[in-house]
Amino acid sequence: MSSAARPGSGARVLSTGSHGGQVKDLQRRLTELNLYTGPTDGRYSTDVADAVHRYQVARGIDEDAGVYGPETRAALESETRGG
């Protein structure tokens, strides 16, 4: 998926099958919160989707389950350091 999360930011909605640097950043952030223990390889696997879904449930985020959309991204980025 490649719809913009914020105009001009380059942020994308990420889901299973996505890959690249933004997925690596997501994996690092999820690892920081002990939600993901897999490799930081830039591949949005089902393990990443499961970790995102656990995060969404814990924070009461109402977006598609396991999809890293704008609301999930904003919340996760506000409480983690990433990179």
Residue with tokens 């490799």: 39
Report the CATH number that the domain containing residue 61 is assigned in CATH. Answer: 1.10.101
Determine, yes or no, domain membership for 32.
Answer: yes
Question: Mean pLDDT score of the chain, rounded to an integer?
Answer: 90
Determine, yes or no, domain membership for 5.
Answer: no
pLDDT per position as a tens digit, 26-62: 999 999 999 999 999 999 999 999 999 999 999 999 9
Instruction: Give residue 10's pLDDT.
Output: 75
Determine, yes or no, domain membership for 10.
Answer: no
Q: With beta carbons less than 8 A apart as the criterion, state whether 1 and 12 touch.
A: yes
CA neighbor of 15 nearest in space, from 6, 7, 5: 5
Determine, yes or no, domain membership for 42.
Answer: yes
- As a whole number, mean pLDDT of residues 16-29 equals 97
Determine, yes or no, domain membership for 12.
Answer: no
Q: What pLDDT band is residue 1 in, cutting at 50, 70 and 90?
A: very low
Determine, yes or no, domain membership for 3.
Answer: no
Count of structural domains, the chain: 1
Q: What pLDDT band is residue 6 in, cutting at 50, 70 and 90?
A: very low
